[in-house]
Amino acid sequence: MPAITGLAGQRAWSVGLLLASVLGLSASALGQNDKSDPLCPHIVACLYEAPAFSIRVVDQQTGQPLAHVHAIATWLVYDRHWGIMMTLEAVSGPDGQLSFPAWGPVKSGVEGMVSGRDPLISLFRPGYRARLIHNATPMGRPDAARVHGFEQAGNTFELVPFQGVPTDTLADLRRADDAFDGASLGQKAALRFRQAYVRRLRLIQVEVERLPRGTPQVERYLKILGDDIRFYEAGGLQ
């Protein structure tokens, strides 16, 4: 068969590349986690997803696994400042394991996810310092890559037993409150996102109520917690 040359050949070649790009979109997106979808920068939305993963939490001093650790894993996207695209919740059992299911594909903006916060994991257990774990996002991975897995999956993380005066306790509880690292969770956010956050706020509320009452800082924070819980429940918490 003779080769196609000239202007017609160039057009055929261009059309062929476009078709190959479109047809290869699904395989590329599903099979690679280091490249964005070929057409993603040229459309109004991209697809994102993450595989299931587990981590283990232990006491920093004894090395023993910790049960009842409340964890919130959040994938942040660029939206003005940062927006919340996905939030998953887990509570550890006697073995200290925290397991998060796979999710996606979900459509979001072409700006992509926030490096180091794709996901971000907030850990909280009464009697221990709150801990925020940033994802070890590989250098060079596009923000608009389709797959954003937790790179430290399978690792063990330590929680440090808390020691301090009431003012230190209050400061640490505020860190546990900031589960999204400064990102905003709106009242109309997905129900399961608000449920997870309200459960975190209620755990913190119990701990604040154990502090010496009557001090302005404690009473003010209790009011803030109460207002926040009502705010998120008003969206339809069940």
CA distances from 210 to 38, 71, 103, 126, 185 (A): 54, 22, 37, 11, 27
Tell me whether residue 208 is exposed, middle or buried, using C-beta atoms within 10 angstroms of its C-beta: 0 to 12, 13 to 18, 19 or more.
buried
Tell me the residue type at 161: P
Tell me the pLDDT tens digit for each residue of 55-109: 999 999 999 999 999 999 999 999 777 899 999 999 999 999 999 999 999 999 8
At position 205, the amino acid (one-letter code) is: Q
**pLDDT score of 189:** 87
DSSP symbols for 42-81: GSS-EEEEE--EEEEEEETTT--B-SS-EEEEEEEEEESE
Q: Which fold has domain 36-233?
A: Immunoglobulin-like (2.60.40)
Q: Are 123 and 133 in contact (CB under 8 A)?
A: yes
Length of the chain: 238
Among residues 9, 140, 146, which one has the least CA distance to residue 77? 146
What residues are paired with 145 via a beta bridge?
36
List C-alpha distances in Å: 224 to 54, 201, 219, 232: 33, 10, 9, 12
Angle between helices 216-233 and 191-208 in degrees, nearest 10: 160
Other CB atoms within 10 Å distance of the CB of residue 159: 21
Q: How confident is the model at residue 41 (pLDDT cuts 50, 70, 90)?
A: low
| Tokens, residue 173 | 């509880």
Nearest to 100 by CA among 91, 110, 90: 90
d(CA 162, CA 125): 10
Parse the chain into domains and list their residue ranges: 36-233
C-alpha dist (Å) from residue 21 to 28, 31, 108, 135: 9, 15, 21, 30
Which candidate, 94, 111, 91, places its Cα nearest to that of 48?
Answer: 111
pLDDT digits (tens, 9 = 90+) for 46-58: 999 999 999 999 9
Confidence label for 234 from pLDDT (cuts 50, 70 and 90) = confident
Beta partners for 122?
72, 132
The closest of 173, 161, 176, 178 to 210, measured between CA atoms, is: 173
* Cα 149 to Cα 155: distance, rounded to the nearest angstrom: 14
Q: What is the pLDDT of residues 141-158, one digit of tens each?
A: 999 999 999 999 999 999
